[in-house]
Chains A and B, each alone.
Chain A
Amino acid sequence: MSFYECLKAFPEGSDSPSRLALTAKRLGWQGIIICNEEPRSVFQIKAAEKVRGIGVAVGAEVTAQNARALHSRVFALRARYPLITVRGETDELIKAACEDANVDVLMLGQVWRPLGIAQARAAEQNQIAIGFDLSPLIRLRGSSRSRWMEVAKRNLELARKFHLALAITAGVRSHLDLRSPRDLVALSEVVGFEPSEVDEALNLPARLLELNKRSWIGPGMELL
């Protein structure tokens, strides 16, 4: 099992990739994937490669105004980056992301409505993983956190029903947001995840990274 964390680096977060890599290595991660919205403008990405003993990859996170813009942005980034995540903030974006086979992970962060049945079915057909961003569990307190946990539990039940792959992140923007894999297991168990599900969810980004680095020319067909 190799655990990778998806995170944001400077200028979208407040830490350089090398600082995040150092902290992640200390906490027991095998690698980090920098998923900035503008992956080309990540600060000093070459410096992160000097940190030994941890893998550093660059992916992309897509946010868009509407579905049309989302599809074109995902299509433009697909060939260049091995991991494409979409931050689903509105119903329209979530629906569009579930129907786009080029998307790898649909991140459900501060979404206060659970995923719909039709969207889950579309995600199953297009093999899109559902990402759980646990940052509201850390940042919020009281009724807003219990509301978030309720929505997360509903999403988890739906993901189990439709056999969707799961991903878990801590919504990292600085080294103070990073949590170790075992801490994320403990936090996820509070939400209702099984330990085996969490292990697979933490392993998913590494698995996707490896799959996407190979050249696929069609579903199930690889160019060797």
Chain B
Amino acid sequence: MRSRLPVLRAARRYVAFEVDAEEEIEAKDLIHEIRSSQVSLFGDAGAAGNRLKLISFQGRCGLLRCHGAHVQETRAALAAIYSVNGIRVACHVKGVSGTIKSATEKYIPKLRKISSENDGRRIELEEISGCIVHTHGLEIDLCPDERNRTKGSDTRYLGLTSFDLCGGHDDADGTSDGL
């Protein structure tokens, strides 16, 4: 297609977003889910007015191109995503910018992938016990021994923090995070 005159070109905005997911997800699955969410929420006509394109996605943070007048619709489409390929996710918009460069500099931090490796440590508290699946700063995801503990909320893991564990168990190895 021939490029259009600059005055006829629509203003674009770049939406930087962050994905909270239980496991690693593929960029291909994510854009498929974003498009499906957009079409489901606004219909084919609404989606035609706001052509979304995934510029980059690196495991946790990504950049999405949208029409300048439809940023709010893009936010809604991202917020309405519940799962990607059967994996529970939450997409949070970090910021909106006019160029790829400024969006990347302002909102996309150093690459950090989500891994779901079992690091072998266990938590034994009065109410819950299980294996730690991954930790991220103060946040800890726990795979509970009793699977029905997460039944109502449709998640695979229990979300805890190291604040919950300080002095939690006699066998804690005395590390600063209380594990």
Interface residue ranges, A against B (CB under 8 Å) = 8, 10-16, 18-20, 22-23, 27, 43-44, 47-48, 50-51, 137-139, 141-142, 145, 173-180, 182-187, 189-190
**Considering the chains assembled together, what is the distance between the CA atoms of A15 and B156 in angstroms?**
11
Contact between B92 and A27 (Cβ–Cβ < 8 Å)? yes
- Min distance, Cβ A28 to any Cβ of chain B, angstroms: 9
Pick 22 A–B contacts, CB within 8 A, sort by A: A11-B149, A14-B149, A14-B157, A14-B158, A15-B159, A16-B164, A18-B160, A19-B159, A19-B160, A22-B139, A23-B159, A47-B161, A138-B79, A141-B40, A174-B159, A176-B88, A176-B90, A179-B92, A182-B75, A183-B79, A183-B92, A186-B75
Q: B158: which A residues are within 8 A, CB to CB?
A: 10, 14-16
Contact between B79 and A187 (Cβ–Cβ < 8 Å)? yes
Name the residue of chain B whose CB is nearest to the CB of A17: B164
Contact between A22 and B155 (Cβ–Cβ < 8 Å)? no
Name the residue of chain B whose CB is nearest to the CB of A195: B72
**Known pairs A179-B92, A187-B80. 6 more at Cβ < 8 A?**
A8-B153, A10-B149, A14-B159, A51-B163, A174-B88, A183-B76
Q: Which of A13, A20, A43, A177 meets B90, CB within 8 Å?
A: A177
Q: Which of B72, B81, B152 meets A186, CB within 8 Å?
A: B72
- Min distance, Cβ A21 to any Cβ of chain B, angstroms: 8
Interface centre among B89, B92, B140, B157 (most CB of A within 10 A): B92
Q: Is B99 located at the chain interface by the 8 A CB criterion?
A: no
Would A180 and B153 be within 8 Å (CB), given that A19-B159, A47-B164, A187-B79 are in contact?
no
Contact between B93 and A180 (Cβ–Cβ < 8 Å)? yes
**Considering the chains assembled together, what is the distance between the CA atoms of A77 and B128 in angstroms?**
27
Contact between B75 and A183 (Cβ–Cβ < 8 Å)? yes
Q: A18: which B residues are within 8 A, CB to CB?
A: 160-161, 163-164
Q: Is B138 located at the chain interface by the 8 A CB criterion?
A: yes
Contact between B159 and A175 (Cβ–Cβ < 8 Å)? yes
Contact between B89 and A183 (Cβ–Cβ < 8 Å)? no
- Min distance, Cβ B38 to any Cβ of chain A, angstroms: 11
Name the residue of chain A whose CB is nearest to the CB of B90: A176
Q: Which residues between 30 and 64 of chain B lie within 8 Å of chain A, taking CB atoms?
A: 40-41
Contact between B139 and A19 (Cβ–Cβ < 8 Å)? yes
- Min distance, Cβ B159 to any Cβ of chain A, angstroms: 4
Q: A142: which B residues are within 8 A, CB to CB?
A: 40
Interface centre among B78, B80, B93, B152 (most CB of A within 10 A): B80
**Considering the chains assembled together, what is the distance between the CA atoms of A174 and B72 in angstroms?**
25
Q: A23: which B residues are within 8 A, CB to CB?
A: 20, 139, 159
Q: Which residues between 130 and 179 of chain B lie within 8 Å of chain A, taking CB atoms?
A: 138-140, 149-150, 152-155, 157-161, 163-164, 166
Name the residue of chain B whose CB is nearest to the CB of A50: B163
Q: Mark B96-137, 1 if CB is under 8 A from A, else 0.
A: 000000000000000000000000000000011000000000
Would A175 and B161 be within 8 Å (CB), given that A22-B139, A183-B78, A186-B72 are in contact?
no
Would A12 and B152 be within 8 Å (CB), given that A43-B127, A174-B159, A187-B76 are in contact?
yes
Name the residue of chain B whose CB is nearest to the CB of A180: B92
Q: Which of B82, B127, B164, B166 meets A138, CB within 8 Å?
A: B82
Name the residue of chain A whose CB is nearest to the CB of B140: A19
Q: B160: which A residues are within 8 A, CB to CB?
A: 15-16, 18-19
